[in-house]
Amino acid sequence: MKETLVIFTLLLLSIGFTSYSFAQVDDKLVVLHTNLGNITIEFFPQDAPNHVSNFIKLTESGFYDGTLFHRIIPNFMIQGGDPNTKNSEESTWGTGGPENLVKSEFNNIKHNRGIVSMARAADPDSAGSQFFIVHQDSNFLDEQYTVFGRIVTQESFDTLDKIASVQTKSKDIPIDIDQVRITKAEVVSRSQVSNLLVLDEPERVESTMNASSGNQLFESQPLDITFSAPAGWLLQQPEKTDSNTPDVVAVGPKNGLINPVISLTITDTNGKTLDEFVLEKNELLAQAVASGNLEIISQENTKINGKDSFVTNAQGTFQSNGESFQVEFNEIIISTPEKFYVFAYSNGIENFDDDLSKFQESVNSFSILSEQADNSQYSDFGSTNEGGGCLIATATYGSEMATQVQQLRELRDNKLLATESGAAFMAGFNQVYYSFSPAIADIERENPIFKEAVKITLVPLLYSLSLLNYADIDSEQELLAYGIGVIAMNIGMYFVAPAVIVYRMRK
């Protein structure tokens, strides 16, 4: 009998998951030996399994032995892991790595002090061997680089501070390279390290919490979806081994014999209708029903958020490690012309109703991000507007710049609108901005080349505005001073400098 069905995948997840913990006695840790002290790293395999495996494999092969922390920026981070730093010219430092690259596993762990994250080029899937350790909280990196571990001893933090304080020259290269050389990197078991700190689970991005309901808000640009998951449940994105592997899984605490599980599996329609897709699934389910392992309780067509949907309720008896489990399932297929979104919930029969309402909340909160953008509900600097919407959101949507836009939105809400002058400025700005923004946003959707041109043009603006993230604004006067400075900078970049260049060219 095929077990690639979502319903059986969900069963295995619900039976197989135990309490999530970052501290397992037999975990593998890595110790980096340097002349300034040792750095001990523990890993987050649930959040970045491929990066953890890659780092451990490179360490075991001796790849990191003799490499340097070649880029050191105090109060930011120290970066190492480039094989070119063993003996090549300084001009090549920061460009080396293994042949095999690792695809991004961006997660919501914050880049706080002591976090170990993977360096990469502009391509999100370009990580190889280079990594960095955060010296001071650097949350502007969150969800843009793959966090895969953290340092876990007091000596590690002391060594981090020592390395961050060494003298550097141009390109943040250390002057005395012997101080910052990794003389040896070794894999050890957790039981071999006696001085581990007692650390809480890593802090995660606060924006994943819905303030009104307390639920976690899962949002993925690559998957083009967002939905809320129950607060406190473990959210993961399993490796996609086939089309029926869930894209997102939320595992809750046990109330009975097994953990409750909510999953979402996204499948291309490939031209199939919802009825055809349901028929295929029922043919496979029929095998489980015939074997006596599954009973279909009910099936019905319905509408969810205005989309055609299909709901299946089922119960089954399953064996695992010699034990029998009575499990109940609820599966909801949401249909669009391009995708089928399959939500599923499983729990023990006796405890099924305990979290059923949470599952229904998750399904009802589900939305497709691109549809939000098309409906002008994904605004940046002001309130939403009828028509084309925000030109900046439309230009940057789905790109690496979307995170910057989100940070600017938070800056607007937390700093700008918190002052009278800032709120007054935004009121006037919105009137002017939305007088032309919707029309440009519509052109961007119709003309991809124009959209790319607008996105490139916005780069200086977004970076200049991002400077306000580092400003300590405690008064109306400070806000006014910083605001005038940023406006003057943008006037210089967009008007004065081009005018001078054109004038000189014509002259």
First to last CA, the chain: 80
Query: Mean pLDDT over residues 61-89, rounded?
Result: 93
Residues 6+ apart with CB under 8 A from 443: 450
199 found inside a domain: no
> Which tokens go with 191?
């039981």
Q: What is the pLDDT of residues 37-73, one digit of tens each?
A: 999 999 999 889 999 999 999 999 999 999 999 999 9
Claim to verify: residue 147 and residue 107 sit in the same structural domain: yes
Residues 235, 107: Cα–Cα separation, whole Å: 10
42 within domain boundaries: yes
What's the rounded Cα separation, in Å, for the pair 79 and 469?
A: 23
pLDDT 10s digits, 338-347: 999 999 999 9
> Which tokens belong to 305?
């958020």
Choose the final residue of a domain: 341, 368, 395. Answer: 368
pLDDT at 159: 97
Structural domain containing residue 151 = 28-192
- The pLDDT assigned to 466 comes to 67
3-class secondary structure, 361: helix
Percent of the chain with pLDDT over 90: 33
pLDDT-based confidence at residue 250 (cuts at 50, 70, 90): confident
pLDDT at 380 over 60: no
Residue 269: Cβ within 10 Å count: 15
User: According to the model, what pLDDT value does residue 425 have?
Assistant: 73
Residues 95 and 188 in one domain: yes
Same domain, yes or no: 351 and 380: no
Instruction: Look at residues 219, 267, 262 and name the one whose alpha carbon lies nearest to residue 362.
Output: 262
Tell me what pLDDT residue 372 has. 57
The average pLDDT across 16-37 equals 66
Q: Do 426 and 361 fall into the same domain?
A: no
Helices (H), 17-100: 49-60
pLDDT band, residue 18 (cuts 50/70/90): very low
pLDDT of the residue at 211: 40
For residue 46, tell me if it sits in a domain: yes
In a domain, 1, yes or no: no
CA dihedral 60, 61, 62, 67 (to 10 degrees): -100
Residue finishing a domain among 368, 394, 422: 368
| Shared-domain flag, residues 134 and 170 | yes
Strand partners, 42: 150
**Rounded CA separation 51/127 (Å):** 9
Taking only the tens place, the pLDDT of each residue in 440-495 is: 877 877 787 888 888 888 778 777 776 666 666 666 677 677 777 777 777 777 77
Residue 23 counted as domain residue? no
Encode pLDDT of 387-416 as tens digits: 355 677 677 765 666 666 666 665 665 566
Q: What is the pLDDT of residue 376?
A: 35
Q: Which two tokens stand for residue 296?
A: 């279909």
Cα separations (Å) of 299 from 171, 329, 333, 479? 63, 12, 11, 59
Q: What angle do CA 392, 111, 20 make, to 5 degrees?
A: 115
- CA dist list (Å): 170 to 72, 167, 173, 175: 11, 11, 6, 9
The overall average pLDDT reported for the chain is: 80
> What is the pLDDT averaged over residues 360-368?
88
Does 375 have pLDDT greater than 50?
A: no
Pull the structure tokens for residue 321. Answer: 């490690």
Q: Is 190 exposed, middle or buried (0-12, 13-18, 19+ CB in 10 A)?
A: middle
Report the pLDDT value the prediction gives residue 414, as an integer from 0 to 100. 57
Biggest distance spanned by C-alpha atoms of the chain: 88
Condensed to tens digits (0 to 9), the pLDDT of residues 278-322 reads 998 888 888 888 888 888 999 999 888 778 999 999 998 877 666
Arithmetic mean of pLDDT, 214-225: 78
Q: Which of 138-147, 387-396, 422-431 shows the lowest mean pLDDT across its residues?
A: 387-396
The total number of structural domains that make up the chain: 3
- Residue 137 scores a pLDDT above 80: yes
Check: CB of residue 219 under 8 Å from CB of residue 205: no
**pLDDT band at residue 130 under the 50/70/90 scheme:** very high
Assign 21 a pLDDT band (cuts: 50, 70, 90).
very low
> Are 147 and 247 contained in the same domain?
no
CB-count burial class (<10 Å; 0-12, 13-18, 19+) for 436: exposed
Q: What's 226's domain CATH number?
A: 3.40.1000.10
The answer to whether residue 43 sits within a structural domain is: yes
Is residue 273 located within the same domain as residue 386? no
Neighbours of 333 (CB within 10 A): 25
Residues 180 and 279 in one domain: no
Residue 252 covered by a domain: yes
For residues 312 and 288, what is the distance between their CA atoms, to the nearest angstrom? 14
**More confident site: 29 or 317:** 29
pLDDT given for residue 5 in this prediction: 44
Picking from 13-17, 85-89, 127-131, 363-367, which range would have the lowest pLDDT averaged per residue?
13-17
Same domain, 282 and 353: yes
Q: What is the pLDDT of residue 222?
A: 84
Token pair listed for 200: 């809480």
The reply to whether 225 and 361 lie within a common domain is yes
Domain stop point among 161, 192, 223? 192
| Residues across the chain | 507
Q: Are residues 65 and 187 in the same domain?
A: yes
Residue 473 forms part of a structural domain: yes
Half-sphere exposure of 284 (CA within 13 A, CB side): 14
226, 156: one domain: no
pLDDT, residue 451, reads 80
- 87 pLDDT exceeds 80? yes
Lowest mean pLDDT among 247-256, 368-377, 428-437: 368-377
Q: Is the pLDDT of residue 3 over 50?
A: no
